[in-house]
Amino acid sequence: MTGREMDYIKEAFDSNWIAPLGPHVDAFEREMADYVGVSGALALSSGTAALHLALKLAGVERGDRVFCSDLTFAATVNPVFYEGAEPVFIDAEPESWNLSPLALERAFADAEREGRLPKAVVAADLYGQSADYGPIEALCDRYGVPLVEDAAEALGATYRGKKCGALGRWNVLSFNGNKIITTSGGGMLLSDDVEGLAKARFWATQARDKAPWYQHSEIGYNYRMSNLLAAVGRAQLGVIEDRVAARRAVFDRYVRELGELPGISFMPEASFGRHNRWLTVALVDQSRAGVSPLDLMGALEKENIESRPLWKPMHLQPVFEAYPFYSHDHEGDSAVSASLFDRGLCLPSGSSLSEPEQERIVQIIRSGFKGI
């Protein structure tokens, strides 16, 4: 917390705006739209809700296909099933670890031959870094398919000077408790499509018709953010650049202290933008390091320090394994996403992580390497 949250929350209590909607919701939407650089925003109960509404705006229906990033959290894919559609998974590429334009191009070509183009492409910005949206957007434009940016992990990151959260036709943010700023739970849908946002706002408030009684001509959802949570979000947004600087400093210290160990490397920062370093992610080559990522995770866990593997790719998930997958290198035997998953370890990366705490983590990791 920044210390300013209680001032905004007190305003909410003093004005008696406690229930969903209210002045802080309106202000949070305006302030986030201004920060990201889009025409409008819609504050919601979660990033997943925002993604669901984005897919509805794209016209996704039962039996349709949606192209999705493979290396991501399942929340990127689950809303596809809410509408009865099917995912097609697109591998990561090595430069940014995000959706591969090469794999996407092959998926589009096959879909055109089959006469079954997707209704949308959902690109997730992994661990705080954007995908390479130039070629991705060009492909989407060529085939007339809307692009949805899942920027849940990437608030504060940029792509060629433009902020994440403004790179698709519809864009999704998350303010879950583990994100770079948090409302404890919540999300946002952002876009320059003001008419689309108005429709999503209608759906998100139970699709209540304009009538003197409760009348509904469409199915709606209870997806709006409360005034109290928006109050927290406004205080958090005020320090977003400080949070990015803090996360990048944590990453830099890990690189200085661990970068020379045999077999260890870190998630690269692509030349096209600024990484917010939401999480510091290390790759461990067991043949050189003498330890596996799970070995290091176990050593940290013994000291009550949490670390995690990378997201398990969607095409390897039991619930999704029956759906099509396009690899980055169509002539290779393994996917980039699977290789990264096998070698990856997410390290403690919080904005409030102190240098002594980080030094303790570093020493535990160093002690796990043979010969160190």
* Best CA proximity match to 80, nearest among 150, 133, 141: 150
Please report, rounded to a whole number, the percentage of residues in the chain having pLDDT higher than 70. Answer: 98
Classify 28 as helix, strand or coil: helix
Average pLDDT over residues 11-34: 90
Q: Enumerate the domain spans of the chain.
A: 5-237, 241-368
C-alpha distances (whole Å) from 197 to each of 42, 43, 124, 190 are 7, 11, 20, 8
The b/e string for 206-224 (b: 16+ C-beta within 10 A; e otherwise) is eeeeeeeeeeeeeeebebb
**Residues paired with 149 in a beta bridge:** 123, 171
**Residues paired with 90 in a beta bridge:** 69, 326
Q: Which of 10, 179, 302, 370 is catalytic?
A: 179
Give the chain's mean pLDDT: 95
pTM value is 0.95
Summarised one tens digit per residue, pLDDT across range 146-167 is: 999 999 999 999 999 999 999 9
Name residues whose C-beta falls within 8 Å of residue 362's C-beta, 6 or more positions apart in sequence: 253, 254, 257, 258
Average pLDDT over residues 94-99: 97
Q: At CA 110, angle to CA 109 and CA 112, rounded to 5?
A: 65
Which strand ranges, in their side-by-side order, compose the sheet holding 158-159? Answer: 162-163, 158-159, 273-274
Q: Catalytic site residue 56?
A: no
- 334 pLDDT band, cuts 50/70/90, is confident
Q: Count other Cβ atoms within 10 Å, centred on residue 148.
A: 31
Interatomic CA distance for residues 137 and 96, integer angstroms: 16
Could you tell me which CATH number the domain at 241-368 has? Answer: 3.90.1150.10
Summarised one tens digit per residue, pLDDT across range 115-148 is: 999 999 999 999 999 999 999 999 999 999 999 9
Summarised one tens digit per residue, pLDDT across range 237-272 is: 999 999 999 999 999 999 999 999 999 999 999 999
And the tokens for 319? 């619930």
The b/e string for 19-42 (b: 16+ C-beta within 10 A; e otherwise) is ebebebbebbbebbbebbebebbb
Query: Does 372 score more than 50 pLDDT?
Result: no
- 16 pLDDT band, cuts 50/70/90, is confident
Question: CATH fold of 5-237, please?
Answer: Aspartate Aminotransferase; domain 2 (3.40.640)
